[in-house]
Amino acid sequence: MKKLIAAFAASAMLAAPATANDSVTTLSSNPNGWVLQTGDYANTRFSGLAEINRDNVGDLKVAWSFSTGVLRGHEGGPLVVGDVMYVHSPFPNKVFALDLNNNGKIIWKYEPKQDSSVIAVMCCDTVNRGPAYADGKIFLHQADNTLVALDAKSGTVIWEAVNGDPSMGETNTATVLPVKDKVIVGIAGGEFGVRGHVTAYDMNTGERVWRAYSMGPDEEMLVDPEQTTHLGEPIGENS
């Protein structure tokens, strides 16, 4: 429990301005954009847009529609960067860039080829909680644990990294978090005995920078037993 509390404290620090990515901070301050699934680093999910309100919401009509072509559960929302909307799907985790100035016309489509056997170890239907944007890239963590960076303008794969092994029960349905020059991702599979971990990848190259496990010796959890405290006291070695 002591280490769990320490982990929550560490994750909360990610929202601090000193660790933010500049492009995310700038774009998330503009109410016309939406670059993280949570809206901003404070996870407010709040939009400052006021054109639609309680007085006119009943008058809304469909301007245009779009289908991902996937019929399973959809979770997470679209991203908006400038005049482009980025929409994702559940497995096989397609990503579409849509032109908001042209009735949602498809600018590009990313459709990864994943082994369908991963579905058997997914925890929550075949959903994906969505990509994130930073520094001209769309970051997506696929069901098969492939973390991919796409060029936001062209959809070209810039790099990809393998974050886990579905044959061991490891999978992913979560979004990602861009922090400074790194992309932070987690892992799912606790129901299969997977040891959880949080991993940071270099945003520009996809190289793994560090990984912290949810349990185990201090060096694998990246915990300093003297600097990490519980109720004001050091937690102690391998506590």
- Residue 28 is predicted with a pLDDT of 93
CA nearest neighbour of 149 among 176, 173, 122: 176
- Residue 18 is predicted with a pLDDT of 53
Rounded to an integer, what distance in angstroms lies between the CA atom of residue 183 and that of residue 234? Answer: 29
- Residue 165 is predicted with a pLDDT of 96
User: Within the chain, which residues score under 50 in pLDDT?
Assistant: 1-17
Cα distances (angstroms) measured from residue 30 to each of 17, 44, 175: 16, 14, 21
- First-residue to last-residue Cα distance in the chain: 10
- Residue 105 is predicted with a pLDDT of 98
CB atoms < 10 A from the CB of 6, how many?
Answer: 19
Q: What domains, with CATH codes, occur in the chain?
A: 2-45+72-227 (2.40.128.630)
- Residue 132 is predicted with a pLDDT of 98
Rounded to an integer, what distance in angstroms lies between the CA atom of residue 13 and that of residue 212? Answer: 15
Q: For residue 225, what are its two tokens?
A: 């037993």
Rounded to an integer, what distance in angstroms lies between the CA atom of residue 119 and that of residue 122? Answer: 5
- Residue 238 is predicted with a pLDDT of 84
pTM of structure: 0.89
Cα distances (angstroms) measured from residue 16 to each of 9, 44, 107: 12, 14, 34
State the number of CA atoms in the 13 A half-sphere of 217 facing the CB.
Answer: 2
Rounded to an integer, what distance in angstroms lies between the CA atom of residue 11 and that of residue 108? Answer: 34
> Could you tell me how far CA 17 lies from the centroid of its own chain?
19
